[in-house]
Amino acid sequence: MAKKKFLDTIKTKQPAELRQMVKERREILRSLRFDLASGKVKNSKEISKIKKEIAQILTLENKLKKEAVTK
């Protein structure tokens, strides 16, 4: 359910908002990686979740770009 909710959320965003979301997610990912290396992270699944969200946002952004070019 949470996956579907996230996808519905990003589909309503503008391209500038999507880029901002990617920047925020990448910063979170960087922080999690440093915490993992220092042994502070308890839930390493969070890293894969953030990576997956970044990929979904970038996929949607590329799809929107292609649609804009074909119109």
Query: Which ranges constitute the DSSP H helices of the chain?
Result: 2-11, 15-38, 45-70
Q: Kindly state the DSSP code that residue 12 receives in the 8-state scheme.
A: T
Predicted confidence at residue 3, as pLDDT, reads 65
pTM passes above 0.75: yes
Give the CATH number of domain 13-70; options: 1.10.287, 3.40.190, 1.10.10, 2.60.40: 1.10.287
Render pLDDT for 37-70 as a digit per residue (tens, 0 to 9): 999 888 889 999 999 999 999 999 999 999 888 8
The residue extents of the domains of the chain are: 13-70
| pLDDT greater at residue 30 or residue 7 | 30
